[in-house]
């Protein structure tokens, strides 16, 4: 994830922290020190945030390590001020497996609560109902309360929380996967409406934020699964751009700009004469024109191209590669020869055509594909 720093690896999984998280810790330390005229109090608040996010990392590792048991790798885990993100490369193949992966994260928080309360005798703050007084509770009492909240909040039956995935997995045991996702997303959006109405009536802006978060997350999940259903059994060749142009490495950026303006193609394969696979993207072209002008050679701004995909291969997997690798296009080959380009714009146009023709799939798409967030 961009703007993140790598902390290290746990169980072979890279752990990153977003730069905004560091600002959050610094702000809490400073606020605590100024409010209590005590640096020790400020450091305690910073330590509490570090402990909190250690619990979040353990939560995400619960998802990641359970997914690994089912053969699903995790790309990385990133810490953000609003929580953690574990990026699984795909959803487990069976609803029962997805159910266990979704439950694993909250289960970690339940175990932490059980250890703190059952083994060490930590108790919830007596002022848990008063958010203004929670800040003055004991360190471990606050950690206990946070883990109770993490387990309970994540089990709400709404995407993108774990509870939404639990609900979807249970529904998918009886219904086609796409239909189960749509039903789970609808339930989550009804919950978002309830959060929003309650937030408006009670003057709680945080509930409005949560409502928006839940609504967007539910819709995004439903759209992605519906897309996979619509593209089920569709080969890459149906969506590729076949009328495309290539550049030579010694062509000028001005020539590339002329080709860009003359047609709909935005990214160009580059032949460098040395067997390398290069591509000049529209963004690189604009950057080169701004910094070096139209006479600069293409080779100075072309980047290594992503691995090609086969024209007869599944389009769903190719779309997953486009999103996972963050590349603008993929070269499409047949018997080792480049026969087309694939972009997300082409895929979107194919989806519109198939929808107009009524070719939208039967909703029984398998839960596989690109990167998934837990």
Distance CA 371, CA 88 (A): 6
- On the question of pLDDT at 166 being above 90, the answer is yes
- On the question of pLDDT at 133 being above 60, the answer is no
Of 58-62, 116-120, 125-129, 150-154, where does mean pLDDT reach its minimum? 125-129
Asked whether the beta carbons of 256 and 296 are under 8 A apart, the reply is no
What is the per-residue pLDDT across 260-269, written as a single tens digit (0 to 9) for each? 888 778 888 8
- On the question of pLDDT at 164 being above 60, the answer is yes
Q: For the chain, give the percent of residues with pLDDT over 70.
A: 83
Mean pLDDT of 325-338: 84
Q: What pLDDT is recorded for position 137? A: 62
Of 57-66, 107-116, 209-218, where does mean pLDDT reach its minimum? 209-218
- On the question of pLDDT at 370 being above 50, the answer is no
- On the question of pLDDT at 107 being above 90, the answer is yes
CA-closest candidate to residue 237, choices 135, 337, 305: 337
- On the question of pLDDT at 135 being above 60, the answer is no
| pTM value > 0.75 | no
Q: Which residue has the higher pLDDT, 316 or 325?
A: 316
Q: pLDDT band at residue 114, thresholds of 50, 70 and 90?
A: very high
> Residue 56, class by beta-carbon neighbours within 10 Å (0-12 exposed, 13-18 middle, 19+ buried)?
buried
- Other beta carbons within 10 Å of 53: 20
Domain boundaries, the chain: 1-155, 157-230, 236-373
Mean pLDDT of 312-331: 84
Q: What pLDDT is recorded for position 108? A: 95
Q: What pLDDT is recorded for position 119? A: 85
Q: What pLDDT is recorded for position 306? A: 82
Asked whether the beta carbons of 122 and 144 are under 8 A apart, the reply is yes
CA-closest candidate to residue 281, choices 273, 270, 294, 297: 270
Q: Which residue has the higher pLDDT, 138 or 249?
A: 249
Give the active site residues.
60
Q: Hey, which of 6-15, 16-25, 347-356 has the most confident mean pLDDT?
A: 6-15
Mean pLDDT of 189-200: 87
Pair of tokens at residue 280: 């000049």
For the domain spanning 236-373, the CATH number is 3.10.580.10
């Amino acid at each position: 994830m961009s703007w993140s720093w790598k902390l290290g690896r746990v169980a072979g999984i890279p752990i990153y922290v977003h730069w905004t998280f560091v600002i959050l810790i610094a702000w809490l330390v400073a606020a605590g020190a100024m409010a209590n005229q005590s640096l020790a109090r400020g450091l305690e608040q910073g330590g509490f945030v570090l402990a909190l996010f250690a619990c979040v990392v353990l939560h995400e590792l619960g998802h990641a390590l359970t997914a690994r048991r089912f053969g699903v790798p995790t790309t990385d885990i990133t810490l953000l001020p609003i929580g953690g993100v574990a990026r699984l490369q795909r959803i487990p193949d069976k609803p029962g497996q997805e159910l266990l992966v979704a439950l694993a994260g909250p289960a970690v928080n339940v175990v932490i609560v059980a250890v703190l309360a059952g083994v060490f005798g930590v108790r919830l703050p007596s002022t848990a109902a008063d958010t203004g007084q929670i800040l003055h509770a004991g360190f471990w009492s606050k950690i206990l309360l946070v883990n109770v909240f993490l387990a309970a909040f994540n089990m709400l039956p709404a995407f993108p929380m774990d509870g939404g995935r639990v609900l979807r997995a249970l529904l998918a045991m009886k219904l086609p996967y796409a239909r189960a996702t749509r039903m789970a997303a609808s339930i989550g959006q009804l919950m978002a409406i309830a959060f929003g109405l309650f937030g408006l009536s009670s003057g709680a802006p945080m509930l409005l934020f949560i409502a928006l978060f839940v609504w967007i997350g539910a819709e995004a999940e439903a759209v992605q699964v519906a897309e996979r259903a619509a593209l089920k059994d569709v080969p890459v060749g149906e969506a590729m751009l076949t009328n495309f142009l290539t550049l030579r490495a010694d062509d000028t950026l001005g020539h590339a700009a002329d080709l860009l303006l003359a047609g709909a193609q935005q990214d160009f394969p580059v032949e460098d004469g040395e067997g390398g696979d290069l591509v000049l993207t529209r963004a690189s072209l604009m950057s080169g024109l701004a910094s070096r002008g139209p006479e600069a050679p293409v080779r100075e701004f072309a980047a290594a191209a992503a691995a090609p995909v086969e024209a007869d291969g599944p389009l769903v997997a190719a779309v997953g590669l486009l999103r996972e690798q963050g590349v603008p296009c993929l070269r499409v080959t047949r018997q080792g020869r480049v026969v087309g380009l694939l972009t997300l714009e082409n895929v979107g146009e194919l989806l519109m055509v198939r929808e107009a023709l009524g070719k939208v799939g039967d909703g029984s798409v398998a839960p596989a594909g690109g990167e998934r967030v837990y």
